[in-house]
Structure 1
Amino acid sequence: MTEPLSPAAQAVYDAYCEWADDPYYYERSGMVAALRAAAEQISSRDGAQQLLAIAAELEAANG
């Protein structure tokens, strides 16, 4: 069983699930790619590091 997600990662996951058109398309890999792409565009090092940390957490939870 995987560890529970952090509040930030859970919020990202929940927002994605609400947005997704197909209820079976709740794949974390898409979110991970989006977070990594967003982190590359952020000028704030702290903000980018937070996005990368969330992406890594979701990626690890995806198995």
Structure 2
Amino acid sequence: MMDKLLLRARARLTVLVYDESGMSTVEYAIGTVAAAAFGAILYSVVTGDSIVGALTNIINRALNTGA
């Protein structure tokens, strides 16, 4: 009887030590936060004055060709 209890306790401890079921959730959370931060940085760069001015200049030059 005692041996059975010890084996069960050992099996449960082994599962607790080696169980990584929560790791994927944490990895997804970190990935989501990193993607949101990258999106925010990209948005601030693209909507900045220099980028908007450069894109406007390129479009104006393409539309105002002498041909």
Same fold by TM-score greater than 0.5: no
State the structure with bigger RCO (CA 8 A, min sep 6), 1 or 2.
Answer: 1
Flag the structure with higher helix content: 2
Larger Rg: 2
